[in-house]
Amino acid sequence: MGLLSGVTDTDRRVIVLALARMVGAAGNSFLIVVLPLYVSSDLVDIEGLLGAEVGVGAAAVTLTEPLLIGIVLSLFGFLNSLSQPFTGRLSDRVGARRPFVLAGILLLGTASGLYTVATSYPVLVALRAIQGLGAALIIPATVALVNEYAASDADRGGNFGVYNTFRLIGFGFGPVLAGAVVEAGPYDLSPVGLPVLDGFDAAFVAACAGAYLSFALVFLLVRDADVEAEAGDDVSIRVRGEDRLLDPVFTLGLATITMGACIALFATLQNQVNVRLDQAPIWFGAQFAAVTIANVIFQVPVGRASDRIGRRPFLLAGFVLLVPTTLLQGIVTEPALMMLVRLGQGVAVACVFAPSLALAGDLAREGESGTTLSVLTMGFGFGVALGPLASGWLVGFGFVAPFAVGAAAAALGLIAVFTQVEETLNVDDEPSPAAGAD
């Protein structure tokens, strides 16, 4: 089934939620490109931090510009991921998702706007922390809604495919637009009675506007599914499986950490990649977006196919492909080859993302979607946070080091999925004719 037909066959509530998340993700992903450039500019004072040692003895780490950038980028993901089990469980207990989504969007958007007056590194860190908490409110609630909108297990993979496609369109193309916005500044707005905006402030304002537009879409068009609240007080994550070493959802969470880290290793190394490949900054934006481009193309077909033939084959294929496409990013020396490798990594992620969420949704009990799916969204957020921080440190051992470590982690993820995760879908099921209903 093609991308277009897959979208038109989807519950319209999922499409509305996905469009809202697309707009918000575009605004938030501006910061992935803008913040490293902003930290490196003369507008943020980091001179007093460079060269300082943090830690004791052998654990001491010297602060460098790449590491400071990695901290800013990673803090969002760490707070986001560590908070998700609590916000997911809370949304289950309340029996409502929409208020969590709206509150999170407000935090994200307001913090984006406040970057325009942030000129010290500690303030940047504080604002990024606020955004991490905002994302923790949004993500478990939205994936729970997508799961609860599914009329049957045979619709779940397609729902997550459509949701991820639109969200990733915003997330992937936001950085490309951000680079263009920064390069085109400053903007003389005096004819309309506004001050001159430099490129950075224009990008921050755009991110804020995108979040508020997303808020309006959710507020006006998204409603909670009719599901009873059943979650208890326990926010612990089940680790041991009933008939094997690890619980399958926990295993997918671990594997998702490796996937998130592998695709995020690239983010911190913008300056190093551009020098190594002798390329203009716009190339980096395109290479960063390549993973998302592949996801946009393949998410819906893979999600729909996993509804027909099962989740596990796609999970295994995705991790098999993730290993070499991660390693090759540390080896290639041509911009075009880097684009191809990043596209290949995007195909790998597409094979894992929707089927893993669908598999966790298959296993979730009614009223506990937020709790169960937060294990995967937490894992992805933790991986995306860990990747930039790890690459900012590992690149000190050589350019290939971050990608070699990432490839090894992906191989461990493959082994874990192969040995600990079984198929959950009855492939004899047919997609519900209710798909596409209001």
Query: pLDDT tens digits for 196-210?
Result: 788 888 888 888 888
Residue 410: its pLDDT value, please? Answer: 96
111, two tokens: 């913090």
Burial (CB count within 10 angstroms: exposed 0-12, middle 13-18, buried 19+), residue 213? middle
- The amino acid occupying position 362 is D
Instruction: Evaluate whether residue 432 is within a structural domain.
Output: no
Pairing of strands 53-54, 61-62: antiparallel
Hey, is 352 helix, strand or coil?
helix
Handedness of CA 199, 386, 266, 314 (dihedral sign): negative
CB atoms within 10 A of CB 8: 12
Residue 227: which pLDDT band, with cuts at 50, 70 and 90?
A: low
Instruction: Evaluate whether residue 355 is within a structural domain.
Output: yes
Owning domain of residue 136: 3-225+237-420
How many percent of the chain have pLDDT more than 90?
23
Most confident of 128-132, 173-177, 359-363, 420-424: 128-132
Cα separations in angstroms, 266 against 47, 389, 393: 24, 11, 13
Residue 406: which pLDDT band, with cuts at 50, 70 and 90?
A: very high
Residue 304: which pLDDT band, with cuts at 50, 70 and 90?
A: confident
Residue 435: its pLDDT value, please? Answer: 41
| pLDDT above 70 (res 244) | yes
246, two tokens: 């690890």
Instruction: Evaluate whether residue 430 is within a structural domain.
Output: no
Rg (C-alpha) for the chain, rounded Å, is 21
- The amino acid occupying position 206 is A
Instruction: Evaluate whether residue 437 is within a structural domain.
Output: no
- The amino acid occupying position 266 is F
Question: What does the alpha-carbon distance between residue 75 and residue 42 come to, in Å, rounded to a whole number?
Answer: 22
Instruction: Evaluate whether residue 179 is within a structural domain.
Output: yes
Instruction: Evaluate whether residue 230 is within a structural domain.
Output: no
Specify the DSSP class assigned to residue 150.
-
E-strand stretches of 117-179 = none
pLDDT digits (tens, 9 = 90+) for 42-56: 788 888 788 787 776
Residue 313: its pLDDT value, please? Answer: 93
- Which of 156-165, 257-266, 297-306 shows the lowest mean pLDDT across its residues? 156-165
Residue 228: which pLDDT band, with cuts at 50, 70 and 90?
A: low
On whether the CB atoms of residues 369 and 273 are closer than 8 A, the answer is: no
Residue 217: its pLDDT value, please? Answer: 86
325, two tokens: 């496409």
HSE, side-chain direction, 13 A CA sphere, residue 402: 27
- The amino acid occupying position 382 is F
CATH code for the domain in which residue 304 is found: 1.20.1250.20
Residue 8: which pLDDT band, with cuts at 50, 70 and 90?
A: low
| pLDDT above 70 (res 433) | no
Instruction: Evaluate whether residue 251 is within a structural domain.
Output: yes
- Which of 125-134, 166-175, 321-330, 423-432 shows the lowest mean pLDDT across its residues? 423-432
Question: How much is the average pLDDT of 193-222?
Answer: 85
Query: What region, left, alpha or beta, does residue 196 occupy, with left being phi > 0 and alpha being psi -120 to 50 degrees?
Result: beta
Handedness of CA 74, 78, 84, 87 (dihedral sign): negative
Residue 9: its pLDDT value, please? Answer: 61
Q: Is cis: bond before 175, omega within 30 of 0?
A: no
On whether the CB atoms of residues 44 and 68 are closer than 8 A, the answer is: no
Residue 83: its pLDDT value, please? Answer: 87
pLDDT digits (tens, 9 = 90+) for 118-160: 888 889 999 999 998 998 898 888 888 888 887 666 777 788 8
Hey, is 61 helix, strand or coil?
strand
CB atoms within 10 A of CB 412: 14
Q: Which residues contact 386 (CB under 8 A, 6 or more apart)?
A: 74, 77, 78, 257, 260, 261, 264
DSSP β-bridge partners for residue 54:
61
- The amino acid occupying position 349 is V
Q: Which segments of 248-399 does DSSP mark as H helices, in order? A: 248-264, 270-277, 281-309, 312-327, 335-363, 369-394
| pLDDT above 70 (res 315) | yes
Instruction: Evaluate whether residue 285 is within a structural domain.
Output: yes
Question: How much is the average pLDDT of 217-232?
Answer: 73
What's the total number of domains in the chain? 1
58, two tokens: 């052998």
Question: What does the alpha-carbon distance between residue 205 and residue 207 come to, in Å, rounded to a whole number?
Answer: 5
